[in-house]
């Protein structure tokens, strides 16, 4: 179906305002052409308008870029995805000795390494910042044992970024530019703040107010999604490489067609199917099944900015939404529900929520304390209702005070907590799952925390 620019611009403006999103950019590949729209303002304090050439922080959508770089190296025979990471990084170590010896790049790509995922460390602005970050990972603990379950790990993607550096002899930033951004004509994608200054850049917002800082992520967080800024159209160009079987618009092959297909193949199930709307995980890609119409993509969040990428290959459609605050998740759900329904025939699953009459569940079996790096989760009952105390601990204790959350049953294993922030929607899923060794774990934000 032809993309009706005038109609979609009006609908985009309407939904952005309704969900109090300050500014947003939308790019859609349909009928072989990239269509670009923008709405609102980049910064409520300055009133500078959002335009199609404005750049936003991509957050974890960057993981697709890093995964693509890694797969290029595998294509070239420089990297064995199933060999231990230590074959490339001999000094690589995490707190668990067995994980240190056995973790593989494939496990890092599929978030099955078990390495706790929220390790952030400012190692400076020099070109060795990622090497220093990986050196510091020797104190990072495991959420779960390698290969036993998915647990979202940004830490693992930084290790992948360091593998890229060692095998290319470049910084991650330069390898990304030379091996992907330049060949794909992504001229509005940059990783360093001094380069962002060349563009109209979005500022994240919390509520009605601009965030106090443009970014809270140091340069060392680049490969997992801390520094890359881009236009919505440039994200479409990256996704189009995968849609087109690994070739750039000028015909240059950047990935083997079999590698592209392998990245989109189901690798691991996901107990929490709602936080990032995932029906499974491939090599770098989140996988979707919208009422029988399959696709792939990724979500991202960074300092009050949010990104959503969806690809539906049967229809040849790609959609990218970048937003800078407000009820971004609701804007995504409404806009993409309508847009992709019309262009790709894909019916978006219902948003995560609770029934008018929630089921009665035996909650006692879940009582206890669940622990992952930096987070302690205490499950109990309060005033006769299922309750969760979410507390940052250890090196993350200064992030925020503990949160006390009443839970509403959705099923025997799934519960709903009030949504926290623009990324979560109205309700946040809390999912209980059993590991292969019988240990009960709690998933929040796609991260697994075993009961201790």
Query: What positions carry a catalytic annotation?
Result: 60
The angle formed by the CA atoms of residues 451, 422 and 323, to the nearest 5 degrees, is 130
Nearest residue to 161 (alpha-carbon basis) of 148, 139, 176 = 176
Contact 131, 229 (CB under 8 A): no
103's tokens? 């973790």
202's tokens? 């979005």
- Dist. CA 95–CA 162, nearest whole Å: 18
Give, as one character, the DSSP assignment of residue 128: T
Q: How far apart are the first and last CA of the chain?
A: 53
Nearest residue to 345 (alpha-carbon basis) of 386, 301, 295, 406 = 295
Nearest residue to 331 (alpha-carbon basis) of 239, 255, 194, 425 = 425
Q: H or E segment at 333?
A: helix 328-344
Contact 206, 309 (CB under 8 A): no
Q: Classify 102 as helix, strand or coil.
A: helix
- Dist. CA 245–CA 242, nearest whole Å: 5
- Dist. CA 223–CA 278, nearest whole Å: 21
Q: H or E segment at 132?
A: helix 129-135
- Dist. CA 128–CA 170, nearest whole Å: 10
Task: Report the DSSP pairing between strands 293-302 and 229-230.
Answer: unpaired
- Dist. CA 405–CA 329, nearest whole Å: 20
- Dist. CA 152–CA 144, nearest whole Å: 11
């Amino acid at each position: 179906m032809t993309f009706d620019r005038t109609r979609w611009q009006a609908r985009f403006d309407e939904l952005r305002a309704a969900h109090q999103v300050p500014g947003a950019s939308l790019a859609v590949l349909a009928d072989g052409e990239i269509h670009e729209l923008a709405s609102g303002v980049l910064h409520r304090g300055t009133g500078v308008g959002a335009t199609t050439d404005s750049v936003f922080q991509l957050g974890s959508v960057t993981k697709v870029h890093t995964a693509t770089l890694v797969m290029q190296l595998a294509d070239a025979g420089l990297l064995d995805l199933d060999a231990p990471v230590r074959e490339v990084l001999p000094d690589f170590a995490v707190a668990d000795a067995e994980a240190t010896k056995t973790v593989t790049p494939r496990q890092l790509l599929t978030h099955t390494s078990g390495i706790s995922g929220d390790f952030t460390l400012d190692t400076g602005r020099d070109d060795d910042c990622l090497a220093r970050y990986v050196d510091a990972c020797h104190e990072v603990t495991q959420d779960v044992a390698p290969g036993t379950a998915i647990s979202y790990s940004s830490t693992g993607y930084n290790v992948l970024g360091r593998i890229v550096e060692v095998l290319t002899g470049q910084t991650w930033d330069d390898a990304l530019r030379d091996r992907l951004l330049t060949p794909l004509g992504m001229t509005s994608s940059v990783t360093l703040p001094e380069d962002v200054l060349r563009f109209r850049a979005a500022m994240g917002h919390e509520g009605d107010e601009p965030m106090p800082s443009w970014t809270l992520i140091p340069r060392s967080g680049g490969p997992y999604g801390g520094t890359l800024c881009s236009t919505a159209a440039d994200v479409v160009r990256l996704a189009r490489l995968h849609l087109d079987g690994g070739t750039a618009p000028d015909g240059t092959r950047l990935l083997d067609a079999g590698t592209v297909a392998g990245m989109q193949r189901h690798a691991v199930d996901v107990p929490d199917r709602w936080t990032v709307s995932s029906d499974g995980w491939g090599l770098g890609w989140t996988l979707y099944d919208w009422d029988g119409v399959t696709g792939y993509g990724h979500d991202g969040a960074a300092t009050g900015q949010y990104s959503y990428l969806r690809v539906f290959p049967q229809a040849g459609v790609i959609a990218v939404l970048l937003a800078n605050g407000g009820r971004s998740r609701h804007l995504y759900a409404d806009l993409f529900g309508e847009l992709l329904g019309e262009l790709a025939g894909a019916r978006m699953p219902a948003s995560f929520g609770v029934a008018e009459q929630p089921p009665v569940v035996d909650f006692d079996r879940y009582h206890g304390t669940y622990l992952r790096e930096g987070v302690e989760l205490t499950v109990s009952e309060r005033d006769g209702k299922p309750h969760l105390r979410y507390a940052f601990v250890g090196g993350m204790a200064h992030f925020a005070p503990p949160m006390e959350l009443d839970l509403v049953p959705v099923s025997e294993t799934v519960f709903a907590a009030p949504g926290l922030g623009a990324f979560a929607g109205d309700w946040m899923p809390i999912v209980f799952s059993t590991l292969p060794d019988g240990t009960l774990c709690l998933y929040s934000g796609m991260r697994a925390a075993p009961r201790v």
